[in-house]
Amino acid sequence: MDKTALPSLGPGDLQLSLLEIGCSGRFELLSQRLSDNQPLHPLSTLPHGLPPTGLDLRAEVETRFLSDPEWLPIHDTDSAFQKFLRVVQRKRQVESLLHCAVSPMHSGLSVVRDPTTGMLLDFNEVLLEDTGLSSKNSLSLLRPPGPPSESLRGSNTNYPFLPGGMEELTLEQIKKKSEQEEEIDFENGLLTVAPGLKAGMDFAAKEPRTSRGEVNLLSLLSNFNDIIDTQLNEEDGEEKQREGEAPKISRTNSLEDLGIKDSTSAPSQSATSSEGKKEGRVEKEGEPVEEKKRWAIPVDISSPCEDFYKRIPDPAFKWPFELDVFQKQAILRLEVHDSVFVAAHTSAGKTVVAEYAIALSQKHMTRTIYTSPIKALSNQKFRDFKNTFGDVGLLTGDVQLNPEASCLIMTTEILRSMLYNGSEVIRDLEWVIFDEVHYINDAERGVVWEEVLIMLPDHVSIILLSATVPNAVEFSEWIGRIKKRSIYVISTLKRPVPLEYYLYTGNSTKTQKELFLLVDSAGNFLTKGYYAAVEAKKERTSKHAQSFGAKSSSQNTTASQDRAVWLALLHFLSQQQLTPVVAFTFSRTRCDDNARALSSMDLTSSVEKSEIHSFFQKSLSRLRGGDRQLPQILLMRDLLKRGIAVHHSGILPILKEVIEMLFSRGLVKVLFATETFAMGVNMPARTVVFDSIRKHDGTGFRNLLPGEFIQMAGRAGRRGLDATGTVIILCKAGVHDMGDLHAMMLGKPTVLQSQFRLTYTMILNLLRVEALEVTDMMRRSFSESHRDTQSQEKRIAQLRKKLASLPPLDTDGQLADLVPFYQTLTELRVTSENLQRAVMESVNGLKALSVGRVVVVNNSQHCNALGVILQVSNDSTNRSFTALILCEKGKEEGGAEPQSSIATLQHLYNPAVFIPDGPCGHTVQKLKLQDISAITTKTLKVIPERIIDNYNKRQQPRFRLDPPGQAISTATQELLRLAESNPTGIATLDPVNDLQLKGIEVVEASLRMRALQESLREFNCVHCPTFSEQFAQVQERMSIQEELDTLLFLVSDQSLLLLPEYHQRIRVLESLNYVDCKGAVQLKGRVACQISSHELLLTELLFENTLSPLAPEESAALLSCLVFTQNTQTVPHITSTLQEAIDRVLSVAQRIGELQRDCGLAQSAEDFVAQFKFGLTEVVYCWARGMPFSEIAQLTDVQEGTVVRCIQRLDEVLREVRQAARIVGDSVLGSKMEKASLAIRRDIVFTASLYTH
Q: Write down the pLDDT at residue 682.
A: 66
Single-letter amino acid, residue 388 = T
- Per the model's pLDDT, the better-predicted residue between 644 and 980 turns out to be 644
Q: Given its phi and psi angles, is residue 1226 left (phi above 0), alpha (psi -120 to 50 degrees) or beta?
A: beta
CA-to-CA separations, 470 to 112, 344, 492, in angstroms, rounded: 61, 11, 11
When pLDDT is averaged across residues 135-144 and rounded to a whole number, the result is 85
Beta bridge partners of 237: none
pLDDT in tens, 684-714: 888 999 988 888 777 778 888 888 888 888 8
Report the percent of the chain where pLDDT is more than 70.
80
Nearest to residue 88, comparing CAs of 52, 62, 51? 62
148/155 Cα distance (integer angstroms): 11
pLDDT in tens, 1104-1133: 988 888 899 999 999 999 998 888 877 878
Phi, psi of 522 (to 5 degrees): -85, -5
When pLDDT is averaged across residues 783-792 and rounded to a whole number, the result is 79
465/345 Cα distance (integer angstroms): 10
Q: Is 714 exposed, middle or buried (0-12, 13-18, 19+ CB in 10 A)?
A: buried
Single-letter amino acid, residue 306 = E
Beta bridge partners of 434: 371, 464
Nearest to residue 124, comparing CAs of 235, 265, 225, 218? 218
* Cα–chain center distance at 453: 8
When pLDDT is averaged across residues 868-893 and rounded to a whole number, the result is 79
* Listed range (246-260, 749-763, 889-903, 1007-1021) with the worst mean pLDDT: 246-260
CA angle 392, 393, 398 (to 5 degrees): 155
Q: Assess whether pLDDT exceeds 70 at residue 244.
A: no
pLDDT in tens, 379-397: 889 999 999 998 999 998 7
Q: Assess whether pLDDT exceeds 80 at residue 171.
A: no
CB 564 within 8 A of CB 508: yes
* Listed range (537-541, 669-673, 821-825) with the worst mean pLDDT: 537-541
Q: Assess whether pLDDT exceeds 70 at residue 1016.
A: yes
Q: Is 660 exposed, middle or buried (0-12, 13-18, 19+ CB in 10 A)?
A: buried
* Listed range (241-250, 655-664, 718-727) with the worst mean pLDDT: 241-250
CB 377 within 8 A of CB 681: yes
pTM of the entire predicted model: 0.73
Buried residues in 1201-1213 as b, exposed as e (16+ CB within 10 A): bbbbbbbbbbbbb
Q: Is 998 helix (H, G, I), strand (E, B) or coil?
A: coil
271 pLDDT tier (thresholds 50, 70, 90): very low
* Listed range (350-354, 365-369, 400-404, 709-713) with the worst mean pLDDT: 709-713
pLDDT in tens, 952-1006: 888 888 877 778 888 888 888 888 888 888 877 788 888 888 778 888 888 888 8
CA-to-CA separations, 131 to 134, 169, 267, 270, 565, in angstroms, rounded: 9, 21, 11, 18, 75
Q: Assess whether pLDDT exceeds 60 at residue 289.
A: no
Phi, psi of 1061 (to 5 degrees): -65, -35
Q: Write down the pLDDT at residue 1201.
A: 87
145/147 Cα distance (integer angstroms): 7
Q: Is 648 helix (H, G, I), strand (E, B) or coil?
A: coil
Q: Write down the pLDDT at residue 1194.
A: 85
720/725 Cα distance (integer angstroms): 11
Nearest to residue 160, comparing CAs of 676, 767, 874? 767
326/345 Cα distance (integer angstroms): 12
Q: What is the mean pLDDT of the chain?
A: 80
Helix (H) or strand (E) holding 1103: helix 1095-1103
142/133 Cα distance (integer angstroms): 8
929/709 Cα distance (integer angstroms): 50
Nearest to residue 468, comparing CAs of 714, 136, 177? 714
Q: Three-class SS string for 101-123? A: CCCCCCEEEEEEECCCCCCEEEE
Q: Write down the pLDDT at residue 72.
A: 57
When pLDDT is averaged across residues 545-558 and rounded to a whole number, the result is 51
Beta bridge partners of 867: 855, 885
Q: Assess whether pLDDT exceeds 90 at residue 820.
A: no
Angle between helices 1177-1184 and 1136-1158 in degrees, nearest 10: 130
Q: Given its phi and psi angles, is residue 621 left (phi above 0), alpha (psi -120 to 50 degrees) or beta?
A: alpha
Q: Write down the pLDDT at residue 415.
A: 93
342/472 Cα distance (integer angstroms): 9
pLDDT in tens, 1129-1184: 778 788 888 899 999 999 999 999 999 999 988 888 898 999 898 888 999 999 99
